[in-house]
Amino acid sequence: MRLRAQLLQAILLTVVVSVIIGPSSTWLHARSPDQKATNAPQRVTLSPEYAPGQVIRYQLQSTTTTDTHRGGAIRDPQGPTKMTLVWNAITRLEVLAVGRNPQGLPDGTVRLRSTYEKSDATASSVSYDPNADGTEAKYRALKGKSFEFSVNAAGVVSDIVGFEGGSGPGSAVDAVRRSLNQFSWDVNCAKCGIVIGQSWGTDAPVPDAPISGLMWRSRSNYERNEPCQLAATPSSSVSVNGETCAVILTKLTLVVARPGKDVTPENYRKMGLSTAGTWTGEGDTLSYVSISSGRLVSGTQSSSEQMDFTVTHDTGDRMTYKGSVQSHSQLALLPPTP
């Protein structure tokens, strides 16, 4: 398993996910009748609006620790490997086009270009790791790189252009798409409006995982309103922009849709492989979304994953994989450039 390569794609695109999509729901938890008083909180919509040529910049700080061990037919000559990666980046989002319906009104689709204006990384390991320098170089090489993608009204990402490699399962483009969809919000609930105290949730499958039926279960709650905070920069000490933000707390849990069943995915079975074991995870995200613009202003995310599974070939060859990933990231909107 190329855990670090997959993790790299996930982290790189998390910054874009939170920028472009607002909260939504597969299900909603409504208030009880006695809560619907005449002074009920105002319902707000958090659907972002964009115009061609608009530029938005975000600052990202991320720390990720991976601890992995492989054995069996494919062995890890270095033994257990533990690496901590600290990544600092600034990404520039440019709105290329906004879709319109036959009546000429925005239909919720948008075409975006993401460019990394800054990308610095430091990788450290408890033991010698020949991959550390290469990992740092991959992140630093992102500076100046761009890619384009589209997002429809339901928050689905498509037409990713700018990543090298094919578009089939396991490719960089496929990993990007899956990462975006995994961490993104739907926008349906945001468009219908939400009130403080309202909860909603979604279940998003994890395709191509070695454990079938894996899905990220997302449960969000509109906690309260607070003043929005912009990221501080060396050229600006003013962090409050005068806007009010909705504070959204999201809990994430990695679950198996059919516990107790054979967990071998069909695409593995076709290759003469069978899998067994577990893959669990959990996390939380605290997001501040501008009530006036529907745009993400800041967000903090922490998550952990644990993997312990085997992959066995019909010939009897077996690979074991044990690992964990701990991550923490902060994303903040930068003040407009002069």
Confidence of residue 229 (pLDDT cuts 50, 70, 90): confident
Token output for 213: 């039926």
How far apart, in whole angstroms, are the C-alpha atoms of residue 81 and residue 126?
8
What was the pLDDT predicted at 36? 46
Q: What value does the mean pLDDT take over residues 39-67?
A: 83
What was the pLDDT predicted at 205? 78
DSSP 35: G
What was the pLDDT predicted at 180? 52
Pick the most confident of 15-29, 164-178, 289-303: 289-303
- What single letter denotes the amino acid at residue 243? E
Query: For residue 63, how far is the Cα from the chain centroid?
Result: 14
Reported pTM: 0.77
- What single letter denotes the amino acid at residue 126? V
- State which H helix or E strand residue 137 sits in: helix 132-140
Q: Are 162 and 147 contacting, i.e. CB atoms less than 8 angstroms apart?
A: yes
Confidence of residue 251 (pLDDT cuts 50, 70, 90): very high
- What single letter denotes the amino acid at residue 297? V
Mean pLDDT of the chain: 75
Neighbour-count burial of 70, counting CB atoms closer than 10 A to its CB (0-12 exposed, 13-18 middle, 19+ buried)? buried
Poorest-confidence range of 43-47, 74-78, 82-86?
74-78
Share of the chain above pLDDT 70, in %: 70
Query: For residue 92, how far is the Cα from the chain centroid?
Result: 17
**CA trace torsion 58, 136, 174, 3 (10° rounding):** -120
What was the pLDDT predicted at 249? 92
Q: Which residue has the tokens 């740092």?
A: 136
Confidence of residue 43 (pLDDT cuts 50, 70, 90): confident
- What single letter denotes the amino acid at residue 148? E
How far apart, in whole angstroms, are the C-alpha atoms of residue 248 and residue 13?
20
Helix (H, G, I), strand (E, B) or coil at 8: helix
How far apart, in whole angstroms, are the C-alpha atoms of residue 332 and residue 288?
9
Question: Sheet containing 214-229: which strands, arranged edge to edge?
Answer: 27-29, 199-205, 214-229, 240-256, 273-290, 296-313, 318-333, 55-72, 81-100, 106-125, 146-151, 157-161
Over 80: is that where the pLDDT of 116 sits? yes
Confidence of residue 55 (pLDDT cuts 50, 70, 90): very high
Q: What value does the mean pLDDT take over residues 298-313?
A: 90
- State which H helix or E strand residue 268 sits in: helix 266-269
Q: What value does the mean pLDDT take over residues 30-37?
A: 42
Over 70: is that where the pLDDT of 236 sits? no
Confidence of residue 37 (pLDDT cuts 50, 70, 90): very low
What was the pLDDT predicted at 194? 85
**CA trace torsion 210, 212, 213, 219 (10° rounding):** -10
Q: What's domain 3-30+38-333's architecture?
A: Roll (2.30)
How far apart, in whole angstroms, are the C-alpha atoms of residue 41 and residue 246?
12
Token output for 107: 């239909």
Q: Are 17 and 287 contacting, i.e. CB atoms less than 8 angstroms apart?
A: no
- Domain ranges for the chain, please list them: 3-30+38-333
Poorest-confidence range of 56-60, 81-85, 127-131, 206-210?
127-131
Higher-scoring residue by pLDDT: 161, 92: 92
Q: What end-to-end distance do the CA atoms of the chain give, in Å?
A: 46
What was the pLDDT predicted at 39? 56
How far apart, in whole angstroms, are the C-alpha atoms of residue 132 and residue 303?
22
Confidence of residue 163 (pLDDT cuts 50, 70, 90): low
